A and B are shown apart, each in its own frame.
Chain A
Amino acid sequence: MLEIKNLHVTVADKPILKGLDLTIDAGEVHAIMGPNGAGKSTLGYALAGRDGYEVTEGSVTYRGQNLLEMEPEERAAAGMFLAFQYPVEIPGVSNTTFLKSALNSIRRAKGEKELDAMEFLKLIRAKTRQLGMTDEMLKRAVNVGFSGGEKKRNEVLQMAVLDPAFCVLDETDSGLDIDALRIVADGVNALRGPDRAILVITHYQRLLDYIVPDKVHVLAHGRIARTGDKSLALELEEKGYAEFGVDEAA
């Protein structure tokens, strides 16, 4: 589904990713772990198409298309979804308006019929309840006044509503207590399926107890330094990232 080859990305002229290779097939869940500053978030932003994340070399092929040539909104319409590490607050735009605009934009791009207010409400009501969110959170401005956990839940809600084919979860576990973590993980697990791939970016092994990955990669110095199965995550938890030449004080 997604094939990344020799990806080099610079941010503000500073090379961050330096030849990253990664292939993820439909139905798989991969985890990318690594120390702070290894370039984990940069990978997420580069896949989503953020300005300022300049690809200087390499390629990203998504469902046979050159992802790097697409605008962020085109990527979203093609099923690419990035759950932000720091979801953005948008005062003045209600969560409902935002979700409806997003969903209908994507439906329009796919040539599907837009949902009217009633159809849309029916759709999000069910998803909202599954994630333990209240209707009141839908009326509020996007992420404004949301707690850390509420923001992350809101990301997963957007994911559930927009029904993407490829999800990147950037540090979705950060700032969550154990109950919130479980709810978020349940939400993500509900989206697992043969037609969907998920890339979980995380610093800690904890989230992977709940979202069990098929493969675990270690990202260090801008490249994939090692790939293994879920036991690699446990090993990293124990030994840290020292063997990858990273001295991280715990």
Chain B
Amino acid sequence: MATETSPIQSYLDQYGRVAPALPRGDLPWLAALREAGLARFRQQGFPTARVEAWKYTSLRPLEKLTFEPARPKGGGAGIDLLPTVMPHGQPAHRMVFVDGAFRGDLSTVGTLPEGVVITSLAEALTSHADLLERHLGRVGVTDSNPFQALNTAFIADGLVIHLPKGSNVAEPIEAVFIGTGSDGSKSDGPTMHHPRILVVAEPNAEATLVEHHVGLGTGTYFSNVVTEIAAAEGVRLHHYKVQRESGQAFHLSTVTADLAKDVSYDNFVLTMGARLSRNEIKPVLNGTGVECRLSGAYMVGGQQHCDTTTVIDHVKPQCTSREVYKGVIDDTGRAVFQGKIIVRPDAQKTDGYQLNRALLLSDTAEIDSKPELEIYADDVKCSHGATAGELDDDQLFYLRARGIDRESARNLLIAAFLADAIEEVRIDTVREAFQSMVTGWLRSRGA
């Protein structure tokens, strides 16, 4: 009987090959962090459907492929026009990564308030090694997410933002992660990259981070992103993301956030691309008076699979969390929403709200919605709701009876359905950019 090679073996082999070349291996703490990441990855392995957190998302398609670490590419890389969320010409700081590697030639960072650092992780490993040593790999490390561990093992590049006390970066910081799905060689086999984003915000700082993950072409690649956020007292952080990877791409993303007293953190994810994607978002409300808002809109068609998994951990009293997710699923697309709210014994006066609504456009579209409340305090207010439905025939007919053709009427109703999730984006320019992406997606679907 043939023994099947463990799906993690190729990653372990890759690590063996590239580890010596990873940047700043001479830093003992960094070498130890990577080794610890690898050990955790090896120990956890690929989650099977028996693992509760992965029950609805099968990683079989990912397991079947072998990915080469993407090699840094020189100028060009087939990028004629940089895809951006913030319109060209609008003030924004832009950090561009191609297959996980920072590209200074494509990036522009404007004038920043004193002390603010926006730099690539590869650069920061030299220029801000102390900061990274203090913060990297500290927030939300768990034993139920091997991909976070895998990312840690391969830490090489990414984005580092450091906001000193009271600083306010007025212009959005846009991080563009371009996946080319090409390893730069003639073989052009599947590639992987593990971008790492670290945001360290000192008390009362404020900024807007817009992550833009975009695929060029139709290549197969695996983007395994980890974002760590350490927000001190009174920080206001707007964290928005649009994911439009190529149709054959895998996009796994883990966001962990440690939110101190009176922090306002809002996270919005617009999902359009990738064959298989998962956004795991896990904020820990670690001080009183935190306002945490997680929201998103997902548009899933073809054979796409999109998983949104959130865990909001209320540790301290008097915090508010709010979740509004809306999704449109067509063809044989499948979406998963798992929303867990934990209210620890100390977290009295917690106010939690969660909503996931899905619109199914075909008989074969599927949504699995799993709200989960784990409440250990007695004086709390928590509610959740999940619905799945189809387009309303009465509304469709009403629009058509006024001369609007079937396709336009459907698109109008779909856009209207998603609108109140997108309304959660508080920054006007970002919201408008997202709205036009939704419109574009609807148009591109055709009949």
Residue in A73, A88, A90, A91 whose beta carbon sits within 8 Å of that of B403 in the complex: A73
Segment of A9-17, A44-52, A178-186 engaged in the interface with chain B: A44-52
Q: Which residues of B contact A76 (CB under 8 A)?
A: 400-403
Q: Which residues of A contact B409 (CB under 8 A)?
A: 73
Segment of B47-55, B253-261, B390-398 engaged in the interface with chain A: B390-398
Given contacts A92-B415, A93-B416, contact A105 B393 (CB under 8 A): no
Given contacts A92-B419, A93-B413, A93-B416, contact A50 B403 (CB under 8 A): no
Q: Which residues of B contact A98 (CB under 8 A)?
A: 399, 402, 412
* A225 interface hit (Cβ, 8 Å): no
Residue in A75, A88, A102 whose beta carbon sits within 8 Å of that of B395 in the complex: A88
Inter-chain contact B397/A72, CB cutoff 8 Å: yes
* B417 interface hit (Cβ, 8 Å): yes
Q: Which residues of A contact B413 (CB under 8 A)?
A: 90, 92-93
Inter-chain contact A48/B401, CB cutoff 8 Å: yes
Q: Which residues of B contact A72 (CB under 8 A)?
A: 397, 400-401
* B109 interface hit (Cβ, 8 Å): no
Q: Which residues of A contact B394 (CB under 8 A)?
A: 88
Q: Once bound together, how far apart are the Cα atoms of A98 and B412, in whole Å?
A: 9
* A109 interface hit (Cβ, 8 Å): yes
* B346 interface hit (Cβ, 8 Å): no
List the A residue with the shortest CB-CB distance to B419.
A92
Given contacts A90-B413, A90-B416, contact A101 B395 (CB under 8 A): no
Inter-chain contact A92/B420, CB cutoff 8 Å: yes
* A162 interface hit (Cβ, 8 Å): yes
Q: Once bound together, how far apart are the Cα atoms of A202 and B220, in whole Å?
A: 63
List the A residue with the shortest CB-CB distance to B397.
A50
Task: State how many angstroms separate the Cβ of A37 from the closest Cβ of chain B.
Answer: 20
Q: Which residues of A contact B415 (CB under 8 A)?
A: 92
The proximity string for B residues 403-429 relative to A, scoring 1 for CB distances below 8 Å and 0 otherwise, is 111101100110111011000000000
Q: In A87-123, which residues have CB < 8 Å from any B CB? A: 87-88, 90-93, 97-98, 101-103, 105-106, 109
Inter-chain contact A73/B400, CB cutoff 8 Å: yes
Inter-chain contact A91/B416, CB cutoff 8 Å: yes
Residue in B398, B400, B412 whose beta carbon sits within 8 Å of that of A84 in the complex: B398
Task: State how many angstroms separate the Cβ of A94 from the closest Cβ of chain B.
Answer: 9
* A42 interface hit (Cβ, 8 Å): no
Q: Which residues of A contact B419 (CB under 8 A)?
A: 92
List the B residue with the shortest CB-CB distance to A107.
B403
* A191 interface hit (Cβ, 8 Å): no
Q: Which residues of B contact A106 (CB under 8 A)?
A: 403
Q: Once bound together, how far apart are the Cα atoms of A90 and B391, in whole Å?
A: 11
Q: Once bound together, how far apart are the Cα atoms of A147 and B404, in whole Å?
A: 25
Q: Which residues of B contact A51 (CB under 8 A)?
A: 393, 397
Q: In A33-55, which residues have CB < 8 Å from any B CB? A: 48-51
Q: In B345-381, which residues have CB < 8 Å from any A CB? A: none
The proximity string for B residues 139-158 relative to A, scoring 1 for CB distances below 8 Å and 0 otherwise, is 00000000000000000000
Inter-chain contact A90/B408, CB cutoff 8 Å: no
Q: Once bound together, how far apart are the Cα atoms of A71 and B405, in whole Å?
A: 9
Inter-chain contact B398/A88, CB cutoff 8 Å: yes
Residue in A49, A91, A103 whose beta carbon sits within 8 Å of that of B401 in the complex: A49
Q: In A65-91, which residues have CB < 8 Å from any B CB? A: 71-73, 75-77, 81-82, 84, 87-88, 90-91
Complex A-B, nearest 9 residue pairs according to Cβ-Cβ distance, in ascending order: A92-B416, A76-B403, A102-B402, A72-B400, A88-B398, A106-B403, A105-B403, A92-B419, A93-B416
- Sample of 15 further A-B pairs with CB below 8 A, known A92-B420, A93-B416: A48-B401, A73-B403, A73-B409, A76-B402, A84-B398, A88-B394, A90-B398, A92-B415, A92-B416, A93-B413, A97-B412, A98-B412, A101-B408, A103-B403, A105-B404
User: What are 7 contact pairs spanning A and B, CB under 8 A?
Assistant: A71-B405, A72-B401, A73-B405, A76-B403, A88-B394, A91-B416, A93-B416
A residues bordering B, Cβ < 8 Å? Answer: 48-51, 71-73, 75-77, 81-82, 84, 87-88, 90-93, 97-98, 101-103, 105-106, 109, 141, 158, 162
